[in-house]
Amino acid sequence: MPGTDSLRRTEETTAFEQALGQALAAPEIKEALRRTPDAPRPEHLRLQAHRERTALCATAAAEYETYARLRAEADTPAPGTTPTDSPTATASGGGLLPALAVLVPSLGAIAAVLFLAIGFGMRLVSAHRQFADELVYAGWLAAGIAAAATAADLAWLLATAARNRSTADSPSPATDATAPGSEVAQARAAWHLALLERGIVPFLLTRVQERETERPTGRPGYPAPEYGSPEYGRPEYGRHEYASPGYDSPEYSTTRSPR
């Protein structure tokens, strides 16, 4: 599945970076780098490890499969339970009641203000006394309805907040799955350990040892003679054939050209 492959690549990238950092800081790697002349730099080792990331992650494939299976089992809801983000759960929290909880107090308050203002205004001008009293009565009734609806809304909000708080305090299966002592967490730790000990650390040690064995010891094909060996001197300079003839010798006189 594309989503599963993307999740695996993301998790492998994160785990690989963590394990590579731990491996480069491991005592055995530091000791190998210290005792090896011309050892590669940690940045060079990191680059080589990134080039072989797929092969190194494959060394812990079995542990990752176990971790992925346990995580999938922990994420699967138990039979008979409804996820909180399902359409059924969403519909149970919405609908007509929330709309009435908002509209009734606001409409009641507006009606109360209008009825009371018109009723008291008609009383002041002594016009239609009986109708003015009915408007005032209707205004007070609307005000009472608005107050009752507001109180009901507050009670409903408090009950909802208490229910949400109790739900948040209760551990969910996903939280239990990622707890430090859970099976999923233990499987994830085993996967990281296998990636570190079976993949990255042996790879880095091998690269350091290869650099040590490839270190040049001299000019290939041309071994330098030792200073005390007979071959080190140039024997032709010490041979008698190299001595030049004397000035009064016959060879010197025959080789001189006449002026």
Q: For residue range 210-221, list pLDDT tens digits in order.
A: 876 665 554 444
Task: With respect to residue 117, please indicate whether it lies within any of the assigned structural domains.
Answer: yes
How many folded domains does the chain comprise? 2
Residues 72 and 187 in one domain: yes
Residues 11 and 43 in one domain: yes
CA distance 16 to 39: 23
Q: For residue range 39-60, list pLDDT tens digits in order.
A: 888 899 999 999 999 999 999 9
HSE, CB side, 13 Å, CA atoms: give it for residue 21: 5
Q: For residue range 87-128, list pLDDT tens digits in order.
A: 444 444 456 777 777 788 888 889 889 999 998 888 888 778
Q: Which residue has the tokens 């109790």?
A: 166
Task: With respect to residue 85, please indicate whether it lies within any of the assigned structural domains.
Answer: no
Residue ranges in the chain whose pLDDT is less than 50: 82, 84-93, 174-176, 218-229, 231-243, 247, 252, 254-259
Sign of CA dihedral 44, 48, 50, 53: negative
Residues 117 and 160 in one domain: yes
The per-residue pLDDT for 175 is 47
